[in-house]
Amino acid sequence: RIDENIAANDPVRIVNTVVDNLNLDNFKKLYKATGRCPYHPKMMLKVIIYAYMNNIYSCRKIEKLLLRDIHYIWLSGNEHPDFITINRFRNRVKEEINTVFTQLVLVLADKGFISLDVEYIDGTKIESKANKYTFVWRKTVEKNRTKLMDKIRILLEQVDEVIAQENSMKDTAVEFTPAMLSDIVNELKEVLERQPVTKDKEQKKVIREKKKQVRELEQYRDKLMEYDNHLDTLGDGERNSYSRTDPDATFMRMKEDAMRNGQTKPGYNLQIGTQNQFLIDFQLFPNPTDTLTLIPFFHSFEQRYNRLPTVGVADSGYGSEENYRFMQDNGIEAFVKYNYFHKEQRPRYTPTPFHAESLHYNAGEDYYVCPMGQHMNRIGTRRDKTESGYITESARYKAQRCEGCPLRGSCFKARGNRIIEVNHRLNQYKRQAR
């Protein structure tokens, strides 16, 4: 027996048993019905999972272990796929691995190790293998694209052909596209080809100048196409940067910055949900801040298990009005801190008496009382939109008379009477969090 020297409680036996009981019907559609008989997908999946468990990710190393290590030989049934086959299988099942992960979590829930009622969420940034000097920044692209548009307009004004004038002077604020510039270039070339051959030096010089302008216009067209491709990759306001060699990666600051100079590197924001030390959900995000990832991460949980957790636990990086409201509306009990939560818990912490949250608030008549006892009446509402499109509302209150107040220097330093902005809904969520 090959497994004679493998212990009965060895992890390789757990991998073998678990994978044997998984439903891998979706793997069949990845193979053709004709051709050479492939290696069994369950055997290949067992080998790769066991190798990953032992921090082995190289296909060449896995190939050698299938010939040398008794655990891999038993797990593969003495089959010997080469490194190319292993890598091809790994890439082929990249999308299906997500389903395998979900099945494994459901097995844990069925066995009573987890309940899927509580989800502990946190994130970390992982660096991409992309070159750190292949960055593309949204602001730089937009600035250079605007400059290029001005150059194109100036160049078309210099071209005195009728077709160029019609396209460029119809509207001075026209937004040029690569297709539009291609049409102008083609029509200018046709006009130049119809020019009669001449020996006049002045006319030759004019034709050379026009050909030079056409070539320059072609270069501008190609550059405009490049900028448009960059903006398409970045999307509509979702990301501010990406890497040319790994377009999915966004430049962000990493925790393990040895130089401590805040250098940005291409990477991903990996969000992980756990329970009883088991991973129950994961997802990669291109945005570096955790605040915008909580709601999509809950949607990911719902898509996996057709339900939401009843309790959500996260640190202060997720404490925003939008996230609190989502959890409240969906019946998720929120154990989520907000910024300054830890600062408020310090023994020596004393709140600033002039801060808006320290002022007395009369909820019945909707006014605040300043440290001098003066009423601050409501004067309006300010609305702001977050990056995700959520609308926040802050009530504005204004003091009646701050002139000559002895506390003015400590209270505020702006001209006129003091105005404060208070987000009542967020303050209510903070009280619940406390």
Strands 311-314 and 333-336: parallel
Q: Please enumerate in sequence order all residues whose Cβ is within 8 A of that of 242, keeping only pairs 6 or more positions apart, or say none.
A: 135, 136, 233, 234, 248, 249, 250, 251, 266, 286
Gap between the Cα atoms of 363 and 398, Å rounded = 16
C-alpha dihedral sign at 218, 170, 174, 148: positive
- pLDDT digits 0-9 by tens, 274-285: 999 999 999 999
- pLDDT digits 0-9 by tens, 290-347: 999 999 999 999 999 999 999 999 999 999 999 999 999 999 999 999 988 888 888 8
Helix axes 11-20, 41-53, angle to 10 degrees: 150
pLDDT attached to residue 10: 94
Angle at 102 between CA 323 and CA 287, to 5 degrees: 40
Cα dihedral 58, 63, 66, 71 in deg (nearest 10): 0
| Position 135 pLDDT exceeds 60 | yes
Closest C-alpha among 304, 264, 314, 266 to residue 283: 304
3-state secondary structure the chain: CHHHHCCCCCHHHHHHHHHHCCCCHHHHHHCCCCCCCCCCHHHHHHHHHHHHHCCCCCHHHHHHHHHHCHHHHHHHCCCCCCHHHHHHHHHHCCCCHHHHHHHHHHHHHHCCCCCCCEEEEEEEEEECCCCCCCEEEHHHHHHHHHHHHHHHHHHHHHCCCHHHHHHHHCCCCCCCCHHHHHHHHHHHHHHHHCCCCCCCHHHHHHHHHHHHHHHHHHHHHHHHHHHHHHHHHHCCCCCCEEECCCCCCEEEECCCCCCCCCCEEEEEEEEEEEECCEEEEEEEECCCCCHHHHHHHHHHHHHHHCCCCCEEEECHHHCCHHHHHHHHHCCCEEEECCCCHHHHCCCCCCCCCCCHHHCEEECCCCEEECCCCCEEEEEEEEEEECCCCCEEEEEEEEECCCCCCCCHHHHCCCCCCCEEEECHHHHHHHHHHC
pLDDT attached to residue 94: 87
Closest C-alpha among 145, 151, 147 to residue 168: 151
Gyration radius of the chain over CA positions: 32
**Banded pLDDT at 118 (limits 50, 70, 90):** very high
Which one is predicted more confidently, 120 or 1? Answer: 120
Question: In the Cβ-directed half-sphere of 290, how many Cα atoms lie within 13 Å?
Answer: 19
Range with the poorest average pLDDT among 51-65, 164-178, 395-409: 164-178
pLDDT attached to residue 177: 87
Closest C-alpha among 267, 257, 271 to residue 134: 267
Question: In the Cβ-directed half-sphere of 249, how many Cα atoms lie within 13 Å?
Answer: 23
Which tokens go with 352? 């600033």
Range with the poorest average pLDDT among 15-19, 332-336, 348-352, 382-386: 348-352
- pLDDT digits 0-9 by tens, 77-88: 999 999 999 999
Mean pLDDT of the residues in the chain = 88
Gap between the Cα atoms of 196 and 186, Å rounded = 18
| Position 386 pLDDT exceeds 90 | no
What is the value of pTM for the model shown? 0.80
- pLDDT digits 0-9 by tens, 204-220: 888 888 888 888 889 99
pLDDT attached to residue 27: 86
pLDDT attached to residue 261: 65
Residue that the structure tokens 């939401």 belong to:
308
Burial annotation 296-306 (CB, 10 A radius, 16+ → b, else e): ebbebbeebbe
Which tokens go with 383? 């609305």
| Partners of 252 in beta bridges | 265
Give the total residue count for the chain: 434
- pLDDT digits 0-9 by tens, 299-308: 999 999 999 9
- pLDDT digits 0-9 by tens, 193-205: 887 777 778 888 8
pLDDT attached to residue 160: 56
